[in-house]
Each structure stands twice: as C-alpha cells, then as structure tokens.
Chain A
Amino acid sequence: MGLLIFVLILASFLGFELISKVPSQLHTPLMSGSNAISGIAVVGAILSLLGSFQVEDELLRVIFGTLAVFFATVNVVGGYLVTDRMLKMFDDKKEDVK
C-alpha cells in the first residue's frame, strides 16, 4: 500500500509540473483531453468483472460492473473524439493561413 501512495504523490507532482504554463487557447482541449484520461476508471470497471463466478449468484456486482464499463467507455471515447475535433479546428486553421 505504501508503494501505491508513493506512486500517487509522484504522479500528482508530475501533473502540477506538466500543466503549470499552458496558453489560454488550449484550456478547453486540455480540460476535455484530461477528462478523457479520467475515463481510466474503465480499467477498474473491467477488473471488477474479472474472475469466475455465476452471474445469477452475484447479480448486483455484474450490474454495477457493467454500468461502470458503459459510463467509463462513453467518457473515454466521447472525451477523446471531442478533444480531437476541437484540436482539428485549430490545426485546419494553421494550414489555411498562407
């Protein structure tokens, strides 16, 4: 458990460092892009459904796990695509300008 907390602290510092200076026009893509990353809960959701068990015996677990996979997938897929759509607009424009 100590190791997990170590990882947590390191990653938090890294997050602070990475984002300290970002031009304001990137604020929205940055937010929606990092929002897509928080869909990493999908991994937890998949892990919660692993193992051998009878669905009838553990119905609530299967329902919750499946819902978790669904919502996290929407977050991941939607988040990345929407971010890409926004960034593409920025890119297209660069090419338009001469």
Chain B
Amino acid sequence: MIDTLYIVASILFIYGLKMLGNQKTARKGNMISSIGMLIAIVAALLSAKILHWEYIVAAMVLGSFVGVVASKKVAMTSMPQMVALFNGFGGIASLFVGWAEFQKYVYAGSIDAQSEFNLLVIALAILVGAVTFTGSLVAYGKLAGKITSKPVLYSGQQVVNVLILLTILVGIILFSFNIGLPPEVLIYIIVGVSLLYGILFVIPIGGGDMPVVISLLNSFSGVAACITGFVVSNNVLIVAGALVGSSGLILTQIMTKAMNRKLGNVLFSGFGAPSKSAESTQDLGDPNPITVEDAYYILEAATNVLIVPGYGMAVAQAQHAVRELANILKENGAEVNYAIHPVAGRMPGHMNVLLAEANVDYDQLREMDDVNPNIEQVDLAIIIGANDVVNPAAREDESSPIYGMPIINVDKARTTIVLKRSMSPGYAGIENPLFYKDNTRMLFGDAKKTVQGLISEFKN
C-alpha cells in the first residue's frame, strides 16, 4: 500500500516535471507535482507507528506558515534570491536527515554494526546538503545585495580549496570505515568543514555568473535529497532527487552555453575580477550623454524599436514603466519588440518573469537568435540596465574576458540609447565599447525615473 503511494508520487513528479517544460501545461504540471508531494508525505506518515506526532506536526505547520508568507510577500524582482533561499533550506534538511539517522545508530549503540555503505551515504548526504545550504546562503546574500556580488578572491585560494576538499575526503573515508577518530567526533568535523566549503565555493563567483550558480545549486539540492534516499532506503527520494539533480544539470549546461563558458571556468576562474587586459586604458573616445527631452525626440521618430532589458531593470523595478512606454511607442506607430538574452538578469529566465509580471505579450518577446539577423533594420535599440549581454567586446576583442559569449548585437542598430545609472562598468567589471560609439546615446539616471520621464514627455 505504502509502496504503491510512493510509486504514484514518483509518476506524478515525472509528469509534473515534463509538463513544466511546456508553456501550455506548465501551471498544471506544477500542481500535479505538488499533489505527488502530498501523496509522498501522507505515505511517509502512514508508513509506521509514530509516537511523537507533535514534533512533526509542529514543524510542518510552522514550515508551511513560513513558506506561505515568504512566497506571498516576495516581489517578483527578488525572485532569484528567494529561490536560492528555498534551495538552501532543502539542502540543510538533507543534512539534518543524515545527522538524525546517524544519531539513531548512536542511541542504538549500533555504529560498529553498520556497513561502510550506510555510513558513507550519511557522510555524503551531510556533505552535499551542507554545501547546498551555505552555498545557497552566499548566493542569496550576493543576489540580495547583502554581501558584495563581486568575486571574492585571495591568494592561495585554490590551495585552500584543495586542502578543504582533501580534509572532507579523508574525513568521509575514516568515517565510513570507522577507523581513526570515532565517528561521533568525525561527524562534527565533516559537518563543519562541509559548511565552510559551501561558502568558499560560491564567494569567488561574480554576480553575472549567478544564473549558472543558482541552477547548479538547484541540481545539488536534488542530489542531496537523492543521497538521503539511500540513507533512509526510500525510492521516492531517490527518484525525485535524481530528477531534480539531472534536470538541474541540464539547465546549468544551457546557461554556461549561453555565456560560451565551461562550467569549470565559471566555478574556478573568479570571472569578473578585473583582469589585467581589461584594465588597460585604451582610448575609447567620449560617451554622448543626452537628456530625457533629447531622447524623447529620438523615440518619437523611431518606427522599429528593440528594448533590451537587463538586471538594471529588475533593480530599478522598472518593468511596469517600460511596458507603459512600449505601449505609447506602439500607439505612436512604432513596432516594439523585446530582445531577451538567455543570461540577462540573475537567474535563468529572469527577464521573462519580470516582463510577464508587467503583462507584456509573449509575441513581443524575442530570443537573441531571432533578433540578431535583422538587427540592422532596428531604428532604435533601448538598453535598460543591461551591459555585458550587449557588449561588442565579446565579438571583437579577443583579450576581453567575455570574448566569444553570444551577445545581442545592438551596436549594429541605427541608434542605441543606453539607460544606465553611471559610466561605471557593470557586474563583470568589463569596459563596454558600446557606450562610446558614435551612434550610442547615454541616458543617465535611475531606469524607472528615466522611463517615467519619457512617458510624461509623450503625454505633454
């Protein structure tokens, strides 16, 4: 009976995930997967005599409350950090399950009777769960602006990381074979060092690489749940965990491809640290700043407009104003499209979510590969808080750290207006020659205020 419920739950997860991958069925898919979760939880509750209901019920009630409040309160612009936080919670749950199972053996006095495999999976659940937890917390901090989103690099970083990994490896081997220090002591070392490793793993990764990191950590949380399945010998955890682990890896791969980078490169190179070559002060000329009023005349005359949003639009919460401006331009007779770079923003698909919130039509959203072939036909490209994804250095400058990354070629549009707070380089700290081109106009200021200013110019 219980096994049947677990099988049903697993099937619902598979269907749910499949439907999530299709626009028409996505919402239903999510619901189906949540029903699967409910069934799995009921099955677990039915599976044996529970003497201590009160703890489970209290934890579930409190957890549901926190989950409901957090998911209702969060602004769409804060979605990346919310997802990172939830992800971290999944990781620490796996850690605690592994630890609780270990304590069971301790209380039963049966550690010596456990197979190496049983101890190994506990150690691995703790390792992956801990790395997911602290890694996600650091990602959360970076995304929420609570800690610097710049890569944190120090000399000897690689050596420190290798030493820590070796410590974990040795600790896990000793723990599994029950040699050297007693497992009751080793487990504290494994927990502590794994938590530390999660922090060190994410701090050297820059803000611009967050889409990759978030989807990788998402994959990790699945792997952690999967290993926990081996700890408690439960198939539904293994199936669900493996589904998340492998689909997360695919998403990670899509993201790294969109940036033309290798995963290893993202994780170990500290991308975005000002590199020597990028610092060379070549003379790019002077940018051409304009006022909102000047920009209005350009907008007014444009007939084919391409809007390229980036993380700056999210920060300024400008998506609603942007849509209003786009509508005005359309009424003015212009064709308006949005070009979405796959890694614009801080999580996969970030811009799509924001524009959906602002009620922008699907058919106006264009992918990079659709817009680039016809970009010469665009009168006016409006860049709103995007930087690296429109940086022509990725195409032209072989010494640039982002050389080879596919970009939206707005520099080939007839005119480009860049909405930006100041001339300071973006997250990746790379100079953008686009800002100095003769047909580029810089419109400085907060994106939302600037767009609202343009709207009121039109209304006058």
Query: What is the CA–CA distance of A76 and B230 in the complex, to the nearest angstrom?
Result: 20
Instruction: Produce 1/0 per residue, A49-69, CB < 8 A to B.
Output: 111110101101110111111
Contacts of B20 in A (CB 8 A): 22, 26, 29-30, 33-34
- Given that A27-B349, A40-B37, A47-B44 are contacting pairs, would A35 and B87 also be in contact in the complex, using a CB cutoff of 8 Å? yes
Contacts of A91 in B (CB 8 A): 27
Instruction: Produce 1/0 per residue, A69-98, CB < 8 A to B.
Output: 111111111111111111111111110110
B83 within 8 A of A: yes
- Given that A47-B47, A51-B51 are contacting pairs, would A31 and B218 also be in contact in the complex, using a CB cutoff of 8 Å? yes
A15 touches B67 (CB 8 A): no
Contacts of A38 in B (CB 8 A): 87, 90, 218, 221-222, 224-225, 240-241, 244
- Given that A11-B243, A89-B353 are contacting pairs, would A41 and B90 also be in contact in the complex, using a CB cutoff of 8 Å? yes
Nearest-Cβ distance from residue B68 to partner chain A, whole angstroms: 6
Q: How many residues of B contact A (CB 8 A)?
A: 114
B67 touches A71 (CB 8 A): no
A79 touches B86 (CB 8 A): yes
17 contacts between A and B (CB under 8 A): A18-B14, A22-B21, A25-B356, A26-B22, A28-B352, A37-B33, A37-B244, A39-B37, A39-B89, A41-B224, A44-B237, A68-B94, A72-B63, A73-B64, A82-B74, A86-B353, A90-B26
Contacts of A85 in B (CB 8 A): 71-72
Interface residues of B: mostly helix, strand, loop or mixed? helix
B239 within 8 A of A: yes
7 closest A-B pairs by beta carbon, nearest first, are A73-B63, A77-B67, A15-B246, A27-B349, A27-B348, A78-B67, A68-B96
B292 within 8 A of A: no
Contacts of B72 in A (CB 8 A): 81, 85
B27 touches A87 (CB 8 A): yes
B234 within 8 A of A: yes
Interface residues of A: mostly helix, strand, loop or mixed? helix
Contacts of B22 in A (CB 8 A): 22, 26
Contacts of A36 in B (CB 8 A): 30, 33-34, 37, 86
Contacts of A65 in B (CB 8 A): 55, 96-97, 100
Q: What is the number of contacts between chain A and chain B, taking CB atoms within 8 Å?
A: 392
Contacts of B365 in A (CB 8 A): 25
B62 touches A70 (CB 8 A): yes
B367 within 8 A of A: yes
A33 touches B29 (CB 8 A): yes
Nearest-Cβ distance from residue B80 to partner chain A, whole angstroms: 8
For A41, give its contact among B13, B70, B228, B239 (CB under 8 Å).
B228
- Given that A37-B33, A41-B97, A58-B107 are contacting pairs, would A19 and B251 also be in contact in the complex, using a CB cutoff of 8 Å? yes
B459 within 8 A of A: no
Closest B residue, CB atoms, query A89: B356
Contacts of B17 in A (CB 8 A): 15, 18-19, 33-34, 37
Query: What is the CA–CA distance of A75 and B48 in the complex, to the nearest angstrom?
Result: 24
Query: What is the CA–CA distance of A70 and B58 in the complex, to the nearest angstrom?
Result: 8
Closest A residue, CB atoms, query B347: A28
Query: What is the CA–CA distance of A83 and B353 in the complex, to the nearest angstrom?
Result: 11
For B48, give its contact among A30, A51, A69, A86 (CB under 8 Å).
A51
Contacts of A72 in B (CB 8 A): 63, 89-90, 93
Contacts of B56 in A (CB 8 A): 46, 49, 66, 69
B361 within 8 A of A: yes
- Given that A22-B21, A28-B347, A44-B97 are contacting pairs, would A16 and B246 also be in contact in the complex, using a CB cutoff of 8 Å? yes
B71 touches A77 (CB 8 A): yes
Instruction: Produce 1/0 per residue, B73-98, CB < 8 A to A.
Output: 01010010011001101101111110
A47 touches B14 (CB 8 A): no
Query: What is the CA–CA distance of A58 and B4 in the complex, to the nearest angstrom?
Result: 31
Contacts of B50 in A (CB 8 A): 49-51
For A50, give its contact among B47, B99, B238, B353 (CB under 8 Å).
B47
B40 within 8 A of A: yes
For A16, give its contact among B74, B250, B367 (CB under 8 Å).
B250
